Amino acid sequence: MAAVIKFSSGPMEQAQSINESVEAAMNASNAADAAMNDAMAAADAAMNIKASVSSADLARVCRAAVAHMMGKSPSIMKVVSNRGGIVRIQYKRPDDGTIWKDDCRLEGQRVMWRSVDAFGASGAGRWRNDPNDEVITYSIDGSTIRIGQKYSDGTYDAADYTVAG
């Protein structure tokens, strides 16, 4: 009778396995987010909520809005997807190199947003549409995008941004 000898995997093999599992989970999360975005866009279309801006202007507004809210330059805001009326913005925070992602969509003149993977691979957060959330608005005048932010305490600030298409 032959003896069967089992070898346990070493640290390198275990690390590789963990990395593969994390990558698979992140891919599944991104696919689920895309499916949710498509479903939300279909629901919006069914309710006749239509964006009055082009896809390119939607991306410009979202870059400006996320930059405004986060106190960063629109130049570091990168559009990583723009489908179904939802734009995903990603940026690398200059002070610590952390990668941040946000989704953005428009409802009339209001910018709706949510964080994505703010806590590791946590997926998409909630849309900021609670009555206590700040209200982000936009207007477009040629190459200038004005972003306004009204807080629940009634204070307001606004800024103009020139964001290339």
Indicate the number of domains in the chain: 1
* Statement: residue 69 has pLDDT above 80: yes
Residue 5 lies in a domain: no
Report yes or no on 6 lying in a domain.
no
Q: Which of 109 and 165 is assigned the larger pLDDT? A: 109
47-62 per-residue burial string, b: 16 or more CB within 10 A, e: under 16: eeeebeeeeebbbbbb
pLDDT of residue 37: 54
Please give the pLDDT value at position 119.
Answer: 83
Residue range 8-26: mean pLDDT, rounded: 59
Average pLDDT, the chain: 82
Closest CA to 36 of 108, 100, 116: 116
Please give the pLDDT value at position 17: 60
Question: Which parts of the chain fold into alpha helices (H)?
Answer: 11-46, 55-70
- Tell me the C-alpha to C-alpha distance, in Å, between residue 115 and each of 29, 72, 78, 101, 139: 14, 15, 15, 6, 22
pTM to 2 decimals?
0.68
Position 111 in a domain: yes
Out of 1-5, 94-98, 110-114, 122-126, least confident range: 1-5
Say if 1 falls within a structural domain: no
Across 45-72, average pLDDT:
83
- Joined tokens for residue 105: 């969509």
In a domain, 142, yes or no: yes
**pLDDT for residue 26:** 52
Q: Is the dihedral of CA 126, 74, 83, 21 positive or negative?
A: negative
